């Protein structure tokens, strides 16, 4: 009986979840890299990215990401970090993402593609008490002269619930 009740509550919670789709464009604003010291070309790079976002219903806002990249000797790159979405009304959603993966694209207009999954950590304003998950996919444009890294174009899908009012 207890198992059935817990399963039913989980099902109802998932059924009541909302989805928000966002398009985010951002640029690198700060980066600092450090060699790990175990083998050549293994580096940890701390980065900050700032940008703008628009939801599928036309709502706009800003984005700030704090990311740690693990650049391995074979050239592969994984990342983790936090992202803060700030909407025009001042409401925020804080996301965490783990084990994002970046894949280099040797030919074409993009430097590479990336994807990550994560959790909605907290929110403020109309998103106070938010819980849920996120999925991000995106493309990093090739760097232009003077840029450390290219601009990014990302798509986010947030699946979330809010506390009853």
Q: For position 148, which CATH number holds?
A: 2.40.350.10
For the entire predicted model, the pTM comes to 0.83
Residue 37 domain flag: yes
User: Can you give the residue range of the structural domain that contains 114?
Assistant: 19-161
State residue 80's pLDDT score.
93
Total tally of structural domains belonging to the chain: 1
Average pLDDT over residues 46-75: 93
Distance (Å, whole) CA 153 – CA 156: 10
Residue 9 domain flag: no
- Which residues neighbour 124 within 8 Å (Cβ) at sequence distance 6 or greater? 90, 91, 92
Residue 1 domain flag: no
CA–CA distances in Å: residue 70 to residues 67, 87, 100, 106: 10, 30, 10, 20
In this predicted structure, which of 41-45, 122-126, 145-149 has the lowest mean pLDDT? 145-149
């Amino acid at each position: 009986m207890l198992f059935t009740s817990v399963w039913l509550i989980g099902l109802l919670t998932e059924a009541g979840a909302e989805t928000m789709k966002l398009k985010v464009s951002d640029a690198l604003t700060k980066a600092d890299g450090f060699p790990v010291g175990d083998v050549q070309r293994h580096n940890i790079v701390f980065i900050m990215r700032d940008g703008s976002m628009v939801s599928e219903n036309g709502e706009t806002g800003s984005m700030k990401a704090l990311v740690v990249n693990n650049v391995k000797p074979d050239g592969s790159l994984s990342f983790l970090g936090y992202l803060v979405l700030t909407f025009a009304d001042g409401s925020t959603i804080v996301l965490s993402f783990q084990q994002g993966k970046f894949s280099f694209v040797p030919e074409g207009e993009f430097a590479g593609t990336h994807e990550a999954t994560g959790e909605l950590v907290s929110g403020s304003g109309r998103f106070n008490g938010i819980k849920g998950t996120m999925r991000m996919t995106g493309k990093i444009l090739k760097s232009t002269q003077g840029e450390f890294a290219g601009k990014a174009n990302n798509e986010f899908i947030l699946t979330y619930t809010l506390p009853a009012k």
